[in-house]
Amino acid sequence: MKLLKPITLEFKNSPENLEKEFIDYYFEKKTMQQRIGLALALFLYLIFIFLDIIMAQRKSYVFISLRVFGMLPYGVFAIYSSYQEYYKKYHQVIIFFLNFIGALLIFIMIIIADPPVNYMYYAGEILIIIFAFTFSGQWFKYSLIFAICTIILFEISAFVSQIPIVYVISNNFFFLSSTFLAMIAGHTIESTYRIDFYNTRLLKIEKEKVENLNNRLEETVEQRTSELAISNNNLEEELSKSRELVTELESLQDQLVQSQKMEAIGHLAGGVAHDFNNLLTVINGYSESILYTTTKDDELHVPISEILEAGKRAANLISQLLAFSRKQLLQPEIVNINNSIKNFEKMIKQLLVEHINLNFDYSYDDPTIKVDPGQFEQIILNLVINARDAMYNGGDLTIRTSKINITKADQIKYHIESTGEFALISIIDTGIGMDQSTIKHIFEPFFTTKEVGKGTGLGLSTVFGIISQSGGNIYVDSEPDSGTKFDIVFPIVNHFTKSERDKVVDNRIFYGVETVLLIEDNPEVRKFIEAILSYFQYTVLAAKDYDEATSLFHKNKDKINIVVSDIMLPGKSGKDIIDEFLNTNSDLKYIFISGYSDTILGAQLNLDKNINFIQKPFTRETLMLKLRSVLDN
């Protein structure tokens, strides 16, 4: 949809105050340029007095009088007005009459000048037309009116002066050609100003949304963490009463504490995830959509990318809370660990201080594993941060990759049940090290050796949760004042599927003509998904709850090809609605979406593990790939 009206260049379907905001923006940007343009134009208009003396000769005094007494006073008035308060309201009128007076005076010169001198003065009209459309700051619609008036006056002056038809045709050709080119330039200049203003305004709104979201997220996490701390304190008090039990029960008590902590964090993560994943779906989705319309050279590309990256970091915060409780929805892929680490080498270097020497020692045979790429990055970054904090006086940090063959003798060391080829990632620092009693607790949630307020105790527990959930293991070797070495092992995976080898997706495969019934109670998310589906030419029937969905389904049951439904809805759940629809049409295709992970929902609603499911927040590519996959299956 085009943003501007083609002739007047006013905004289409915009709020009433948008045009007023643009006027303020345009005035602020163009006032100084207008002053310079006015001064330059007035100077050139007067400097042509010398041309009048040479060309007009005996009538030059008339031409000089027209320039000095006709144009000079109004030009000075226009420049003076640009410093007055009323100029903001009337500046377009003042500029219009300045251009018109300048053109009118030249037409008078054409009429009273002797042939063939009068044939040449049309060039002055070309300069005024160019000035009106470009340097004067006059809006395109007024410049267009001025150009039409100028053309009419030019033809009248040619007729009155009885200029030979050959010169009239020649002059008309150059005059109209110059006018057309000036119109294109003027149209482009004002269109660019209007689009820049609109994008800047939109960017400001999106930034405010992201900032508000991050503030709300931080407040919520802080509140939930405080509640969890109180709960943990109460739990510790109860456990202290149980320490008098026999030694055999102490091990069971430790396991109970661990289990309850993980469960409490799972509840915390689930509550935060559902609310904020809806918001992140909208923010990340619209940011990504805007990014598709810009190029890397566009001045908005970088700030919009920053908005998207901020949204992704907010999503990663939710993901991090879910990771160590093993409630996270992972998306494992075949990953070359050397290439993966190289991709965020720059980020690793930015995390370190100057007095820490960073070394990379990559394996020559490029081991590949199956892991969620984003979570693998989280593992490495958390361990790098841990190593940095252990080397506050400086030192060496080495990240090493290799391929090893684990035998039965190595199984105990790495806590691996199988043997064979494994990828080994080692994070080695020369920091303060740890004793054995500390090593026993480092993977426990909220355990930290840092000062109060400087560590959450979630970093290494997150690492342990991701690695365990991904089928790997982690081993620690450390001594006080001798540094620390973390060894991470993952099974080697040597095969690639086509989709894992080639991640470039052609957007053309997303287009379709099917009818989609969308059920989503969150209005922002519903509007976002509806916009994506409509963009790819699907017919969308949107509903916010069971009643609307049922009504739309029964009215259009012969047209609906697929249902996309949130699971947690007011009244009946998305699963119950789909089950009811399947009783009418057993071949109906459907996709579930939710801010909760499928692991949590599967336990609560008894969902099939192979259900078509997308977890929020998701990108438009993720949504459309899943939609086409289900429709084309």
Q: Does 6 reside within a domain?
A: no
One domain, residues 314 and 208 = yes
- Output the pLDDT for position 254: 55
For residue range 186-240, list pLDDT tens digits in order. 778 778 888 888 888 888 888 988 889 889 998 888 888 888 889 888 888 888 7
One domain, residues 578 and 601 = yes
Both tokens assigned to 413 = 């060391």
Residues of 373-389 as b/e, b for ≥16 C-beta within 10 angstroms? eebbbbbbbbbbebbbb
Q: Does 176 reside within a domain?
A: no
Sheet order of strands, 589-594 included: 539-543, 515-519, 560-566, 589-594, 613-615
- Which CATH number is 223's domain given? 1.10.287.130
- The CB density around residue 263, as the number of other CB atoms within 10 Å, is 12
One domain, residues 31 and 159 = yes
The H-assigned helical ranges of 415-497 are 436-439, 459-469
The residue range of the domain holding 233 is 203-323
One domain, residues 425 and 393 = yes
- Output the pLDDT for position 527: 92
Residues in the chain with pLDDT < 50? Answer: 1, 248, 251, 255, 259, 324-327, 497-504
Q: Does 168 reside within a domain?
A: no
620 DSSP assignment: H
One domain, residues 627 and 512 = yes
Q: Helix, strand, coil shares of the chain as percentages rounded to 5?
A: 60, 10, 25
One domain, residues 482 and 561 = no
Do the Cβ atoms of 320 and 458 come closer than 8 Å? yes
- Output the pLDDT for position 323: 53
One domain, residues 522 and 612 = yes
One domain, residues 283 and 359 = no
One domain, residues 514 and 474 = no
Q: Does 588 reside within a domain?
A: yes
Name the domain boundary from 431, 465, 498.
498
One domain, residues 270 and 304 = yes
Alpha-carbon distance of 262 to 327, in angstroms, equals 10
Q: Does 512 reside within a domain?
A: yes
Name the domain boundary from 293, 323, 353.
323
One domain, residues 487 and 522 = no
- Which CATH number is 361's domain given? 3.30.565.10
Q: Does 470 reside within a domain?
A: yes
> Model's pTM, two decimal places?
0.40
One domain, residues 154 and 270 = no
Q: Following CA atoms 501, 504, 505, 506 in sequence, which dihedral angle do they give, to the nearest 10 degrees?
A: -130
Q: Does 175 reside within a domain?
A: no
Number of domains present in the structure of the chain: 4
Q: Does 262 reside within a domain?
A: yes
Name the domain boundary from 323, 351, 372.
323
- Output the pLDDT for position 606: 58
- Which CATH number is 511's domain given? 3.40.50.2300
Do the Cβ atoms of 20 and 89 come closer than 8 Å? no
